[in-house]
Amino acid sequence: MTERKPPGVSVESWVDRQIREAAERGEFENLPGWGKPLASLDAPYDELWWIRGKMHREGFAVLPPALALRKEAEDTVEKVRAARSEARVRALLTEINEKIGAALRMPPPGPPLGLTEFDVEAEVEAWRRTHPEAAGDTP
């Protein structure tokens, strides 16, 4: 909508006309959530609702570095369980161990880290027991 408000026309009538014409063209049909109640109608007022919504949609969370690393370690355990090859398991564990090692050498601000590096060989052995089809899969 690049059309400018013509002089002498009230803003309200100009906006109403723009909305009516857009509705006639069907521009409001098939929008996400169309025909559904607003999810936030019953929620208490939150002046930062749009920031929280944007962060949620983008998958962004604000956690202290120590908690973020703990979460990443938990996610890595899940990825290891779902890995299809021993090489992938080793790569995942090596990557998270590097981050944990760096955090142990220089603890991040916030709550205590509460992590130790993964024993790669023990984790690989556990993965092998749950993935017998990959018996000959070595890096």
Instruction: Write the pLDDT tens digit of every residue in 8-34.
Output: 777 777 788 889 899 899 888 888 887
Instruction: Write the pLDDT tens digit of every residue in 104-121.
Output: 999 888 888 889 999 999
Contact 73, 92 (CB under 8 A): no
Tokens 């779902």 sit at which residue? 82
Residue 99: per-residue pLDDT: 95
Q: How far is CA 16 from CA 9, 20, 21, 35, 99, in A?
A: 11, 6, 9, 21, 56
Q: How far is CA 89 from CA 107, 117, 121, 127, in A?
A: 26, 14, 10, 8
Instruction: Write the pLDDT tens digit of every residue in 48-95.
Output: 888 888 988 887 877 888 999 999 999 999 999 999 999 999 999 999
Q: Could you tell me how far CA 130 lies from the centroid of its own chain?
A: 28
Q: What is d(CA 38, CA 34) in angstroms, rounded to the nearest whole number?
A: 9
